[in-house]
Amino acid sequence: MFLYTRKEFLIMAGKHCFDFARKCISIPLAIEDEFKKESDSSNYESLFLEAMRLGIDPGTMDRSQLSQAVKVTKGDKNQEGGDPYDP
């Protein structure tokens, strides 16, 4: 059985708290990757909604085809006089 003085106990507890805090601080780096993935999915969601607004059926094509179709349709609408709701 080990007996510690109050000072030794506080130093040891402080080291453990510091190690725990250091581990907790390193966690957001992993969370940032998840955030990037989520923002990528939110970009796809906004692309999906934009396609629906333009009258394109987003369920019939993959992401790259959908992106291309939205760009082409936006270009066509801008040449026709523009969309009054397009910022």
Report the pLDDT value the prediction gives residue 27, as an integer from 0 to 100: 60
Structure tokens at 80: 């026709």
Enumerate the domain spans of the chain. Answer: 31-78
Digit-by-digit pLDDT tens for the chain (87 residues) are: 578 789 988 998 988 888 888 877 766 555 555 555 555 566 878 888 888 888 888 888 888 888 898 888 888 766 665 555 555
Give the Cβ contact number of residue 58 at 10 Å.
19
Asked if 54 contacts 77 with a C-beta cutoff of 8 angstroms, the reply is: yes
